Copies of this chain bind each other. A is one copy, B any other.
């Protein structure tokens, strides 16, 4: 699917009461999207600017609602950049979405609640000729994998993890950016809602019916391989997750990668949200991912990416990275803290 977002678009990002720490999509878009963020909606921080809260990205005003945003910008779209637990639509956002549509903006969201199924928004969008884009709704013409991704005319690198939320999307996007800086024709293959909003295309693999999940990944690989020499595929979950391992397995066998980058969050001891399930020793994952890929399309873990946010000092972060590299027997780094040169060199 395509989100209708182009690199020269300007967007407003809705992040009420959650910017920046509980607004993963808003922050991802600010950090990695090609299009420009003209304003952020957060009624709790109206009057501040993005730079007051999130260094290292383009600055933009934070305003209280869409009407204020329209006073300072001429955006092409409103993005919903937060996702409450359960993925519902917060009725306090209705006025902002309404104002956006009436101003001729497309509205892009990754909620479980589909904007296009909302009677008011659907009618209003129709009246104003704008698109309501629900990135979590998979295409309806998906089918089973034909096992062809290994024939794709591109090197394929998949991020895998020891758990959810270990930095797979961030690592993947940092690798794409760094590879492009080296002159490599690198493409990003998004598989989750935030990645799709950033890239402007993609399929939310976790929402695809399980028979078609690998097929959805295969389709993205074959499409993207026509345009790039190297593909960096955003991974999901972990192969030992009590709930989501099937998604991870479909990604591994659907993408048929050549190389894997193993992401981990330093110090995490149990599966996030499943505290009775301890994370096994990290070296276990190297064998699991390599053995599971072997009989379908062999892939090697070539490097590790460690999230060291829990380490206060640079020295502690460096030590954690060294320990991690030793444990998995591969070069490693923290992509955010230390860059991804080690990983690119290993690829």
Q: Which of A's residues lie within 8 Å of B, judged by CB?
A: 144-147, 205-211, 213-215, 239-250, 252-254, 256, 274, 276-277, 280, 284, 287-288, 291-292, 294-296
Contacts and interface: CB of A to CB of B under 8 A. Distances in A.
A318 to B, nearest CB: 28
A242 B239 CA distance: 16
Contact of A243 (B147, B243, B252, B288): B147
A147 B242 contact: yes
A242 B250 CA distance: 8
A213 B215 contact: no
A291 B287 contact: yes
Contacts of A144: 243-244
8 contacts: A144-B243, A145-B243, A210-B246, A210-B247, A213-B246, A214-B246, A240-B295, A284-B295
Contacts of A253: 240-243, 245-246
| Chain A interface main SS type | helix
A10 B48 CA distance: 72
A209 B211 contact: no
Contacts of A249: 239, 245-246, 248-250
Given A214-B246, A239-B292, A240-B292, 6 more contacts: A146-B242, A207-B210, A239-B249, A242-B296, A280-B294, A291-B291
Task: State the oligomeric state as a number of copies.
Answer: 2
A191 to B, nearest CB: 11
Contacts of A256: 242
B246 A246 contact: yes
A276 B147 contact: yes
Between A145, A240, A246, A296, the greatest number of chain B beta carbons within 10 A of the residue's beta carbon is seen for A246
A264 B214 CA distance: 23
Given A147-B276, A246-B253, A296 B240 contact: yes
Nearest to A284: B295
A295 B214 CA distance: 23
Contacts of A206: 209-211
Nearest to A211: B206
A252 B152 CA distance: 30
Between A243, A274, A287, the greatest number of chain B beta carbons within 10 A of the residue's beta carbon is seen for A243
A209 B216 CA distance: 12
A287 to B, nearest CB: 7
Contacts of A295: 240, 277, 280, 284, 288
A206 B208 CA distance: 11
Contact of A246 (B146, B247, B280): B247
A244 B288 contact: no
A58 B209 CA distance: 37
Contacts of A246: 210, 213-214, 246-247, 249-250, 253
Shortest 6 CB-CB distances between A and B: which pairs? A246-B250, A147-B242, A249-B249, A145-B243, A240-B295, A246-B246
